[in-house]
Structures are given as C-alpha cells and as structure tokens.
C-alpha cells in the first residue's frame, strides 16, 4: 500500500509541461514536491495567486502571502495576484488544466463527496464545489478504504455530494483507476505487491479489470 507521499508522487506523473494546476488541501498539496523542476507548471491558489512557489524561509515569511490552506508561501517568477471573483472566473471558464483534490467517497459514475459528514464535520465546502463543477480534468487522491475497512469507491455516494459525474481518475493507496464515462472504475495500475483480488475486495463499485494490470513504477 502506498504512503500519502507515494500517492502524491504517483499523481505528479499526471502533470504535464505547460499545465496550470490547482492543488487541494492535504495530499494534493504534497504533489508540488514531486513535479520536476525542468517542467513549466504554474500552480493556482484560489485565494488569488497564480504562480505559487515553495514555502518561505524565515526571512521571507509574509502574512499577506498565503495559500488556500492558509500556509505561508512564496511566488514563482512570473506570478500574478488577483481577487477571489477573478480567481473563480478562471476556474469556471476552464482555464485550469488539472485539478487535484481529496475525497471521502467517489461513486462509479464519478460523483464526489468531500465536504461534509452530517452531525460530525460541517466546516463548509470552500472552493471545492466550484472546482469540481468546472474542471476539465479532475484527479482524486484518496484512501481506498476507511479505517474500519469500508470501501470508499462506491456504487453510490452515501455522504452529501460535492459534485456530479466529474472525477476522471483516482490514485488511492492501492491503485490507479479511471472513472469511465459509461460508469465503473477501470483498474489501470496496482500498488507494489497489491494483487487484483485485494483491490476487487476493497472496491464496492463496479471494478473493470482488462488484461494484465501493471504495478506502479516509481523512479
């Protein structure tokens, strides 16, 4: 099974040269660490920055420069700043090439739930609903099962939805899967030393296995 760092490392392979990318809070934030420096990628932070750089050193810390997770950050060369309405205008109009975010549940038709657990966690959706409703390409970073072993890749989500039919790909601690437009999770890659039967058992939704499924490769 993959660590959260390995999930981030595997997702980083989906990022292409010239992409504008929005990274959600949690594992998605870690993806930035694995994007090769030779690649020209611009990270968008929905609180109003394109060209998010690394975390600052002590001397660079600026209270007026944070990311959507409220962490202090720096700006890349070529960065730009804007207000929240402009930020979501570029999200809604499809200018962002790739959105990477976490999920509590994904259904076999690509519905995603990641903002609310009724009676337990009611912190708000932040920008997640806007992002999933408009992104052309969404990759979800998630644990395949809950701590008590229940599958989070379902026929139908049980938690309040964030968006409908929007997830294209999932990288979990067990596998890489594509969500097919016709419905179903197509198994693309297995985590090292994880068998297809194990993944089948951990997936409540329809799992499609065609031919030999390769193991993920890490450089």
Of 72 and 151, the one with the shorter C-beta distance to another protein is 72
CA distance 111 to 167: 7
Minimal distance in Å, beta carbon 6 to another protein? 18
Choice between 132 and 139, CB closer to another protein: 132
Give φ, ψ of 27 to 5 degrees.
-55, -40
CB nearer to another protein: pick between 39 and 121: 121
From residue 201, give the alpha-carbon distance in Å to each of 29, 41, 149, 153.
Answer: 29, 37, 10, 11
**Calpha distance 143→4 (Å, rounded):** 9
Least Å from the CB of residue 144 to another protein: 24
| Strand arrangement, sheet containing 75-81 | 75-81, 49-52, 42-45, 20-23, 98-102, 138-142, 169-172, 175-179, 185-190, 207-208
DSSP-assigned states of every residue in 155-171: SS--SPPSBSS---EEE
Choose between 60 and 215: whose C-beta lies nearer to another protein. 60
Active site residues per annotation: 46
| Residues contributing to the site for another protein (CB under 8 A) | 45-49, 54-58, 61-73, 81-85, 87-88, 91-92, 111, 122-130, 133-134, 160-164
Q: Could you tell me which of 137, 131, 141, 130 has the C-alpha nearest to residue 177?
A: 141
In the bound complex, what is the minimum distance in angstroms from residue 133's beta carbon to another protein?
Answer: 4
Q: How far is the CB of 159 from another protein (least distance, A)?
A: 11
CB 193, min distance to another protein, A: 29
Place of tokens 């499609």: 208
State which residue, 167 or 191, has the beta carbon closest to another protein: 167
């Amino acid at each position: 099974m993959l660590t959260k760092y390995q999930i981030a490392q595997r997702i980083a392979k989906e990022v292409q040269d010239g992409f504008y990318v929005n990274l959600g809070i949690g594992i998605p934030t870690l993806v930035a660490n694995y994007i090769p420096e030779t690649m020209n990628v611009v990270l968008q932070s929905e609180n109003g920055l394109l060209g998010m750089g690394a975390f600052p050193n002590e001397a660079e810390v600026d209270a007026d420069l944070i990311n959507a997770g409220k962490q202090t950050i720096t700006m890349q060369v070529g960065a730009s700043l804007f207000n929240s309405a402009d930020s979501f205008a570029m999200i809604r109009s499809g200018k962002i090439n790739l959105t990477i975010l976490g999920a509590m549940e994904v259904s076999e038709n690509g519905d995603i739930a990641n903002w609310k657990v009724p009676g337990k966690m009611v912190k708000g959706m932040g920008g997640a609903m806007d992002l999933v409703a408009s992104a052309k390409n969404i990759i979800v970073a998630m644990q395949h099962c809950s701590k008590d072993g229940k599958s989070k890749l379902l026929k139908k989500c049980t938690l309040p939805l964030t968006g409908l039919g929007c997830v294209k790909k999932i990288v979990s601690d067990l596998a890489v899967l594509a969500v097919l437009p016709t419905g179903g999770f197509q198994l693309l890659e297995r985590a090292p030393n994880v068998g297809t039967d194990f993944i089948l058992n951990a997936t409540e939704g329809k799992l499609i296995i065609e031919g030999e499924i390769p193991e993920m490769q890490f450089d």
